[in-house]
Chain A
Amino acid sequence: AQKVTQAQTEISVVEKEDVTLDCVYETRDTTYYLFWYKQPPSGELVFLIRRNSFDEQNEISGRYSWNFQKSTSSFNFTITASQVVDSAVYFCALMDTGRRALTFGSGTRLQVQP
């Protein structure tokens, strides 16, 4: 069975601080995809990144960066110089290439204080 664990339920930081959101996953599949989504208070899911299991290169997109470590089954997400607009719930998710449904972690609520 697949499982995604986001151990941090809630994080509060002050604007301009860096923050890392942890994600650990479990799967028996050799081919899979990992995702991060942002869910603002309005509820919609905003796609941030997709990473396939064969690509362990870290990725940077503006203030966002992702660290994929297959050896520890982790896919962590770092926001550099956080802003108030980053306040949201962030979900890490896992997709197997067979069923293609997403298994979500429990989410991390990030609050960025001005």
Chain B
Amino acid sequence: GAVVSQHPSRVICKSGTSVKIECRSLDFQATTMFWYRQFPKQSLMLMATSNEGSKATYEQGVEKDKFLINHASLTLSTLTVTSAHPEDSSFYICSAQGGGKFSNQPQHFGDGTRLSIL
């Protein structure tokens, strides 16, 4: 079964709306979570890395005020797309990495969120 749950799977909303995407690790503690973005027919690009209890590290070119990331617990990270516009429409996917003895395990990916801004 899924070890990382991402919700919602699909969002359609009006321009100017803020959208929150949740990423939960179901049966392990995720010390690190990663957020990726995928435009249609393109590759996945890392947006940011979040470690539990600390500020996220954003990749160059990713607006931290536009994409707010919170990793308040070892099982939950959220990505909020603030005041979304059509150019923010994309597929967003998270992955979670366990800590300690699980740090060498492959990352587990959520099923992704398809965001469409009208």
Contacts and interface: CB of A to CB of B under 8 A. Distances in A.
Nearest to B6: A44
Interface in B20-71: 32, 34, 36, 42-46, 49
A95 B107 CA distance: 10
Interface residues of A, number: 19
26 contacts: A43-B93, A43-B111, A43-B112, A43-B114, A44-B109, A45-B44, A45-B112, A47-B106, A50-B106, A91-B44, A95-B107, A99-B49, A100-B32, A100-B34, A100-B49, A100-B103, A101-B46, A101-B49, A102-B34, A102-B36, A102-B44, A102-B107, A104-B43, A104-B44, A106-B42, A107-B43
Given A91-B43, A107-B43, A44 B49 contact: no
A99 to B, nearest CB: 7
A104 B103 CA distance: 20
Given A45-B112, A102-B44, A107-B42, 16 more contacts: A42-B111, A43-B112, A45-B93, A45-B109, A47-B106, A47-B109, A91-B43, A91-B44, A99-B49, A100-B49, A101-B46, A101-B49, A102-B107, A104-B36, A104-B44, A106-B43
B interface: dominant SS: strand
A99 B6 CA distance: 22
Nearest to B110: A44
Interface size class of B (residues with CB under 8 A): 20 to 34
Most buried by B among A43, A50, A91, A99: A43
B97 interface: yes
B91 A43 contact: yes
A102 B32 CA distance: 13
B75 interface: no
A35 B106 contact: yes
Contacts of A47: 106, 108-109
A50 B108 CA distance: 12
Nearest to B46: A101
B41 to A, nearest CB: 8
A47 to B, nearest CB: 6
